[in-house]
Amino acid sequence: MVVRPKDGILDPQGDAVQRSLRKLGFDVSAARVGRVIDLELEAEDEGGAHEAIERMCADLLANPLIESFEIQIDGS
Amino acid sequence: MSDRPHVAVVVFPGSNDDRDAAGALEAMGAESELVWHDESELPSGTGAVVLPGGFSYGDYLRTGAMASLAPAMDAVRRFANRGGPVLGICNGFQILCESRLLPGVLRPNRQLEFVSRDVRIHVENADTVFTRLCTAGQRLVIPIKHGEGAWYAGEETFVQLAARNQIVLRYEEDVNGSLGNVAGVINERGNVMGLMPHPEHAVDPLLGSADGGLLLEALVDAAAQHSLART
């Protein structure tokens, strides 16, 4: 899953990254810094895994005030 | 057990102002007791709780996020729900926000730099158990030392908090990008407060200021009141 600062939330880290990239000559108009969390878990199906991860996000992995998240599931 | 008011100071792995807080509270007349984070109960007779500054759990994930799940925090939640006074200082404020005992969240300072210096703060609301020894509008000098102290809440929440006088302390100037220069907030019930400045480092004029003593002395009084009310 990917956790990132919500749209409209000031991201000073992203701004610093953008400024540094520009200093290196890259034409970058915006940068946002989030985090990737890889989880391994057992679930009945993809829907069950999705539901479990949603709950993990609500309880710990993301702060809904300032962060949004995306869940990506690779079943095997 | 001594008849001095008992204040529990919760210690998490990575707390580093626990002993300063305990010492300052003792100087204010309290008997302070350090409580390890995996304790599931507060000591009997606890009249108030302090969550101290530091870097609990190495600030992993988000500051205060891991500590909010510690067994001791369940006990603190129960204590707060019974009306017990709880004060969170710096990392303690972050923990209270992540525990949803206080509104908002503390984010990295806008300037991305750690700030460590004395700051001037204004008492916006002197009608709380924590600030009742101050006067409204009083200016206090208390040090801050944090990298993630920019308090943030949604616009609607912010307006609501201001209307209910839950914004208790504000910085005189913008020190970290905190919304509305907020330095300290209180819950609606008025028994849980968090602040980024460190009152425990400002209890002796020799150290530059004794203004923090006003807040801690009020907390010790509140501890005595709470213990009395429960006996």
pLDDT tens readout for residues A14-62:
999 999 999 999 999 999 999 999 999 999 999 999 999 999 999 999 9
Chain B interface includes A52 (CB < 8 A): no
The Cα diameter of chain B in Å comes to: 49
Chain A interface includes B108 (CB < 8 A): yes
pLDDT attached to residue A10:
87
CATH architecture of B6-229: 3-Layer(aba) Sandwich (3.40)
> Distances from the Cα of A38 to the Cαs of A2, A32, B11, in angstroms?
9, 19, 30
Chain A nearest CA to B40, separation (Å): 20
Testing the interface with B: which of A10, A33, A68 to mutate, by most B Cβ within 10 A? A10
The single-letter code of the amino acid at B210 is A
- Per CATH, which fold does A2-70 belong to? Mth169; Chain: A , (3.30.1280)
- pLDDT band at residue B1 under the 50/70/90 scheme: low
Q: Half-sphere exposure (CA, 13 Å, Cβ side) for B53?
A: 19
Q: Which two tokens stand for residue A68?
A: 């949004």
> Cα(B39)–Cα(B26) distance, rounded to whole angstroms?
22
Question: Which residues does residue B50 pair with via DSSP β-bridges, in sequence order?
Answer: B9, B87
- Residue ranges per domain, chain A? 2-70
Chain B positions in Cβ-Cβ contact with residue A13 (cut-off 8 Å): 108, 112
Is pLDDT at B56 greater than 60 in this prediction? Answer: yes
Chain A nearest CA to B100, separation (Å): 11
Chain B positions in Cβ-Cβ contact with residue A12 (cut-off 8 Å): 108-112, 177
Chain B nearest CA to A62, separation (Å): 9
Which of B62, B104, B112 comes nearest A16 by C-beta? B112
Is pLDDT at B231 greater than 80 in this prediction? Answer: no
Contacts of B61 by beta carbon, 8 Å cutoff, 6+ apart:
A60, A61
Examine the predicted complex and report whether its ipTM is higher than 0.95.
Answer: no
Q: What average pLDDT is seen over chain B?
A: 96
Cβ–Cβ < 8 Å for B39, B72 = yes
Residue by residue, what is the 3-state secondary structure of B114-145?
A: CEEEEEEEEECCCCCCCCCCCCCCCEEEEEEE
pLDDT tens string B161-183: 999 999 999 999 999 999 999 99
Q: Which two tokens stand for residue B133?
A: 């020894």
Which of A16, A63, A65 comes nearest B154 by C-beta? A65
Contacts of A44 by beta carbon, 8 Å cutoff, 6+ apart:
none
> Cα(B25)–Cα(B3) distance, rounded to whole angstroms?
15
pLDDT more than 70, % of chain A: 99
The phi, psi pair for A45, rounded to 5°, reads -155, -175
